[in-house]
């Protein structure tokens, strides 16, 4: 079995984008994605799909891109190379729901290769509930683990812990949410291993709309008031802080003249900042704040 070519991988990822956007439209029932095709001056381009003002999803994007050209200096330097052409393709998603009772979600799958033969896969999926709900947290991590376990029993524990470290808002000493999985620079050691990693990323892509559909359906109609809305806007502010200050993908994109509007589709529709905000002791907000920590076993989270 020969390895899939980069063009084939890009087509497969494009298909994943199609699947996800059509599923999300079904789940939302009202909103429709708008599509932007764009080209990159140095080679390649993308297909950004944006969702605004749906019934459940307030703002979000599902972006596909396949870009190529001379490798950016930052990567060359890290790898100790003088010159090489690169190819990168992937799907990136961030969804901000209208309701504070529905979690924010992020997913990314990507493939990178250089003409010197180097290649790797990366990706992840993580959940940022405005309110941490133990049942939802267990469900999310269980579903993600199931997919991981189909491909490699070491994936979930390794990538779960990587996500805890990656999705960390260092200047706040808190995690972005309840984590999930994160992996990067996963290179294949054989053709079948290559196929295995590729399929793993596809399975994550297939899992995504099922998981989010579940949360949309389960929590979309839960009532909430001004307190919950204010807390949501504060948590959205933290989401902005993580993405603009710490997220490696965002930083790299903005630094290397990426397509700003596609990179910053991750921004919430609205965010708020209040000086020295402290949740009321004993409140649901305080419970959430207390559990924005690394190393929680969400699979067995029964607080």
Binding site for a copy of itself (CB under 8 A): 36, 50, 52, 59, 61, 170-172, 233, 237, 240-241, 244-245, 251, 254, 257-258, 260-261, 263-265, 267-276
Which two tokens mark 288? 């959430």
Give the count of beta carbons closer than 10 Å to the beta carbon of residue 176: 26
Q: How far is the CB of 278 from a copy of itself (least distance, A)?
A: 11
Q: How far is the CB of 114 from a copy of itself (least distance, A)?
A: 25
Closest CA to 268 of 82, 63, 79, 60: 60
Q: How far is the CB of 96 from a copy of itself (least distance, A)?
A: 10
> Based on CB atoms, which residue is closest to a copy of itself, 75 or 271?
271
> Based on CB atoms, which residue is closest to a copy of itself, 50 or 299?
50
Q: What residues are annotated to the active site?
A: 106
CA distance 61 to 18: 12
Which two tokens mark 162? 């990587």
CA distance 292 to 281: 15
Q: Which residues of 107-139 are buried (b: 16+ CB within 10 A; e: fewer)?
A: bbbbbbbbeeebbbbbbbbbbbbbbbbeebbbb
> Based on CB atoms, which residue is closest to a copy of itself, 38 or 151?
38
Which two tokens mark 223? 């009532």
Q: How far is the CB of 154 from a copy of itself (least distance, A)?
A: 33
CA distance 183 to 35: 28
- Tell me the backbone φ, ψ of residue 5, rounded to 5 degrees: -80, 165
Which residue is listed with tokens 């965002």? 250
Q: How far is the CB of 245 from a copy of itself (least distance, A)?
A: 5
Which two tokens mark 234? 């504060």
> Based on CB atoms, which residue is closest to a copy of itself, 219 or 262?
262
- Tell me the backbone φ, ψ of residue 54, rounded to 5 degrees: -80, -170
> Based on CB atoms, which residue is closest to a copy of itself, 38 or 287?
38
């Amino acid at each position: 079995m020969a390895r899939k070519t980069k063009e084939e991988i890009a087509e497969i990822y494009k298909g994943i984008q199609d699947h996800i956007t059509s599923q999300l439209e079904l789940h939302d029932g009202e909103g429709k994605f708008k599509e932007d095709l764009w080209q990159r001056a140095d080679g390649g381009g993308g297909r950004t799909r944006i969702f605004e003002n749906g019934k459940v999803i307030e703002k979000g994007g599902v972006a596909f891109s396949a870009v190529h050209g001379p490798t950016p200096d930052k990567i060359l330097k890290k790898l100790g190379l003088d010159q090489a052409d690169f190819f990168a393709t992937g799907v990136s998603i961030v969804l901000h729901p209208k309701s504070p009772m529905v979690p924010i979600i992020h997913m990314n799958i990507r493939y990178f290769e250089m003409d010197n033969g180097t290649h790797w896969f990366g990706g992840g999926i993580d959940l940022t509930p405005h309110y941490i709900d133990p049942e939802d947290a267990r469900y999310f991590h269980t579903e993600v683990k199931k997919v991981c376990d189909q491909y490699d029993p070491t994936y979930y524990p390794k990538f779960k812990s990587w996500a805890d470290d990656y999705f960390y808002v260092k200047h706040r000493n808190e995690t972005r949410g309840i984590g999930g999985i994160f992996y990067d620079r996963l290179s294949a050691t054989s053709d079948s291993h290559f196929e295995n990693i590729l399929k793993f990323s596809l399975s994550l892509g297939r899992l995504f709309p099922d998981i989010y559909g579940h949360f949309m359906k389960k929590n979309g109609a839960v009532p909430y008031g001004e307190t919950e809305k204010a807390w949501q806007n504060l948590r959205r502010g933290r989401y902005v802080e993580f993405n603009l200050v710490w997220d490696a993908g965002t930083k790299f994109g903005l630094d290397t003249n990426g397509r700003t509007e596609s990179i910053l589709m991750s921004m919430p529709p609205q965010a708020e900042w209040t000086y020295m905000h402290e949740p009321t002791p004993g409140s649901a907000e305080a419970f959430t704040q207390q559990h924005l920590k690394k190393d929680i076993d969400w699979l067995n989270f029964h607080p």
